[in-house]
Amino acid sequence: MILRVAATIMAVLALAWLGGFVWFVRTAAVPPGPLPHADGIVVLTGGGNRIEQGLHLLAAGQAPRLLVSGVLPGTAVARLARAAGIDPAVVAGRVTLGQSAISTRGNAEETVDWVRRYGLRSLIVVTAFYHMPRALAELRRALPQTALYAMPVLPDELRAVGTNRTLTLLATEYTKFLVVWLDVPHPATDRRPGEGLK
């Protein structure tokens, strides 16, 4: 009897996880609509194309300032701009490089300090599409009064891997999202070195 109840519970939980995973994949894959002008842009590092996208949004006038959260010490704004094909003079004095974050929660904490320093009320959030739901969950918890607009990025490296690896990545990220959404106390699960060109 106990085994049957346990098996039933496990089956229900598995179905709930699978249903949520389908929602997660469909939501993450939705392309963004037109972005409004915002007070700031925050790039959460950890994968390709994110910094470049954030710098292009800044150069296009989508917001007056940009935070790149989680870069390596010694990273230079001018080098990042040139790597993105942007004249460094266009973004000079408008980019903050955050070097303390080593996790998504750390990105949120670094963003809070930056938002408070400049009194920002709205942000465009740039990160990989699969990372966006968790990033927004962490940022909304840390900045409940700040409007957040998603700008998901498809990393080049994801195009080169097979379907199985992509599904594994998505499943792992969905599970991490659930931990954040359910507010389960947890250590940093995505600790990583910062990103950036020196």
Sign of CA dihedral 110, 112, 115, 116: negative
| Under 8 Å between Cβ of 186 and 62 | no
Domain boundaries defined on the chain: 31-181
Query: d(Cα 101, Cα 109) in Å, to the nearest integer?
Result: 8
* Binned average pLDDT, 10 residues per bin, the chain of 198 residues: 73 72 70 87 88 96 96 91 95 94 92 96 94 92 94 73 69 78 56 42
What is the structure's pLDDT at 70? Answer: 92
Question: Going by C-beta distance under 8 Å and a sequence separation of 6 or more, which residues neighbour residue 114?
Answer: 40, 42, 67, 96, 98, 120
- The answer to whether the predicted template modeling score (pTM) of the entire model surpasses 0.85 is no
What pLDDT sits at residue 178?
77
CA angle at residue 28 from 23 to 31, to 5 degrees?
125
- Cβ(81)–Cβ(87) below 8 Å: yes
Q: What does the pLDDT read at residue 85?
A: 95
| pLDDT value for 158 | 62
Fold of 31-181: Rossmann fold (3.40.50)
CA-to-CA dists, residue 49 to 20, 43, 115, 116, angstroms: 27, 10, 23, 27
Q: What are the structure tokens assigned to 60, written together? A: 């296009």
**Share in percent of the chain as helix, strand, coil (round to 5):** 50, 15, 35
pLDDT at residue number 175: 77
Token pair of 176, please?
A: 């991490």
